Amino acid sequence: MSHTSLITASSDRSLSLWDPDTGNRVQTISDLQSSVKCLLVLERLCVWFSGGEELCVWDRDFQLQCHRQNHSDTGITALIELPKNCIAAAMDKEIMIYRLTVSTDSTLSVAEMRCLSDHQDQIRALINVNDGLFASGSHAGELIIWDAIDWNILAYEHILWEESQTCAQAEIRLAAPKPSEMSIQHLTTNGKLILAAVGSGLYVYSILTKTVVAYRKVAHDSNVLHTMLLSDSELMSCSEDGSVRMWEIQELPLTAEPASPGFFGMWTFGRPNKQTGPPTKKVVDVPNIRTLELTGDLIGHSGAVQMFASFKENGLVTCSTDHLLILWKNGARQSCLRSLALFQKLEENGGL
């Protein structure tokens, strides 16, 4: 593809190639074997993947090069690129590692390298952290940090929201929370921090120290669907409740309750032990835990806000189930820009 193109997949079992400059559909592939749930482009190899009931490899001309059938009922729900021509594919509770091979006659083939079956529930999020790490989050609130080269577990965190019984308790046996309260809906990272949308709450995890940096148990009135780290201290989230909120990581007030009663988590190195029921967890004493304070609330949608895209100083675009795209601008910045433009105009015209 000589210029920027857009590939989309639909539940009608079709794939389309678009020219974003004109908005025209350039090419369409229909009558696929199944719906495509995710796409991944490898620009350096001029190929792209589609994932669903099968994993397919396509070239830049939309020609199918090879494919592999998977044996999961849910199909492939997420794809990410890994080093050494490998990709990771999330399928139900497992992450399959595949390697793409290019033969001397330019024929492409995909080989299964390893199956990572350490999650206890369906994987809901799969992201690259940096060149050497990737992360996955599950419906049961499990966050796992993986080595992108040898595919081993580097850290394991089980996120469970639970009300405190008494701050003095050294150990609390957790009842099984509602799935919506513990499910990791979305993960995002800036390479240093991972922001997890956990039910209606937000959880910030430091990759460097493998500790909790900050959390907000109830950030929205319903499930958080999409998040973004704007900086090391600022973030955004949107929810099924139709709101888009901006947050800042701040120190806990001195009069606040200890962080541990509202949040329980443990991280360990190595493969976690699989358990059939909720485990007994010790309250973790997390030093310097901070909170997320609301700094802004964007109200304009009447349906669930599914995601947003930030254009930094140029604004923010949100999309919702109400079929609206809304462009938001920073009011203070726009006012300042208008004032500067006015003074510039006055200076050019020699004053009033």
Contacts of 241 (CB under 8 A, 6+ apart): 220, 221, 222, 304
Q: What percent of the chain has pLDDT over 70?
A: 80
Task: Report d(CA 245, CA 222) in Å as an integer.
Answer: 13
Q: What are residue 318's DSSP bridge partners?
A: 308, 326
Average pLDDT for 339-343: 74
Q: Which amino acid is at 127?
A: I
Tokens 């594919």 belong to residue: 89
pLDDT of residue 269 exceeding 60, the answer is: no
CA distance 264 to 213: 13
- The Cα 117–Cα 306 span in angstroms is 29
Residue 277 has pLDDT above 50, yes or no: no
- Beta-bridged to residue 231, according to DSSP, are none
Q: How confident is the model at residue 333 (pLDDT cuts 50, 70, 90)?
A: low
* Contact indicator for 51, 57 with CB cutoff of 8 Å: no
Separation between Cα atoms, residue 85 and residue 45, nearest integer Å: 9
Q: What's the mean pLDDT when you consider all of the chain?
A: 83
User: Which run of H or of E encompasses 182?
Assistant: helix 179-182
More reliable by pLDDT, 216 or 178: 216
Does pLDDT of 7 surpass 50? yes
- pLDDT, position 280: 33
Q: What is the mean pLDDT of residues 130-145?
A: 95
SS3 89: strand
The full set of domains in the chain, from first to last, is: 6-307 (2.130.10.10)
pLDDT value at position 34?
83
Q: Give the model's pLDDT for residue 348.
A: 76
Top pLDDT among 350 and 306 is at: 306
As beta bridge partners, residue 187 has: 196
At 166-212, the pLDDT tens digits run 333 333 333 444 545 789 999 999 999 999 999 999 999 999 988 87
Instruction: Look at 80-84, 180-184, 310-314 and tell me which has the smallest mean pLDDT.
Output: 180-184
- How many other C-beta atoms can be found within 10 angstroms of the C-beta atom of residue 191? 13
Q: Which of 2-16, 33-47, 333-347 has the lowest mean pLDDT?
A: 333-347
Q: Helices (H), strands (E): how many in the chain?
A: 2, 31
Q: What is the pLDDT averaged over residues 271-285?
A: 41
- Residue 153: phi and psi, rounded to 5, are -75, 130
Q: Residue 73 — very low, low, confident or very high, per pLDDT cuts 50/70/90? A: confident
The model's pTM is 0.80
Residue with tokens 């089980």: 158
Q: What is the pLDDT of residue 117?
A: 95
Q: How confident is the model at residue 106 (pLDDT cuts 50, 70, 90)?
A: confident
Burial of 21 (0-12, 13-18, 19+ CB in 10 A): exposed
